[in-house]
């Protein structure tokens, strides 16, 4: 089933053929090695998906690499600007509200 007439970022996960619609396709291990992840946080009150880019609180080894989520945002945006497909995909998977917050802090990518 494909949802019609909705902005891409608001389409429910799994309802299109786009490679950017599934959190299952994301390389969480690669992100965790860098100290960040994307998290499915459920849904907002309006029913839209809530997917956030966050620092990793429980790294595989050692102390967390980022002290706050905004530092992880800056890293991911910087790497996406340099052409990293992992980082670009993460920014495509986060929800519209999270994108607005990331763009307000880091600028566009």
Mean pLDDT value across residues 29-52 = 94
User: Structure tokens of 78?
Assistant: 């910087």
- pTM confidence score: 0.77
Q: According to the model, what pLDDT value does residue 21 have?
A: 56
Whole-angstrom CA distances from 46 to 19, 43, 50, 70 are 25, 8, 10, 25
Render pLDDT for 4-36 as a digit per residue (tens, 0 to 9).
333 334 444 444 444 445 788 899 999 999 999
**CA count, 13 A, side-chain hemisphere, 102:** 29
Beta strands in the chain (DSSP E): 36-43, 49-55
Render pLDDT for 95-105 as a digit per residue (tens, 0 to 9).
999 999 999 99
């Amino acid at each position: 089933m494909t949802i019609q007439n909705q902005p891409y970022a608001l389409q429910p996960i799994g309802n299109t053929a786009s490679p950017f619609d599934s959190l299952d396709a994301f390389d969480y291990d690669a992100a965790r090695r860098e100290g960040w992840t994307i998290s499915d946080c459920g849904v907002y009150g309006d029913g839209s998906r809530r997917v956030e880019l966050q620092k990793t609180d429980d790294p595989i080894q050692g102390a967390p690499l980022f002290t706050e989520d905004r530092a992880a945002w800056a890293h991911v945006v910087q790497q996406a600007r340099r052409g990293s497909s992992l980082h670009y995909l993460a920014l495509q998977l986060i929800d519209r509200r999270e994108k607005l917050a990331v763009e307000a802090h880091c600028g566009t990518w």
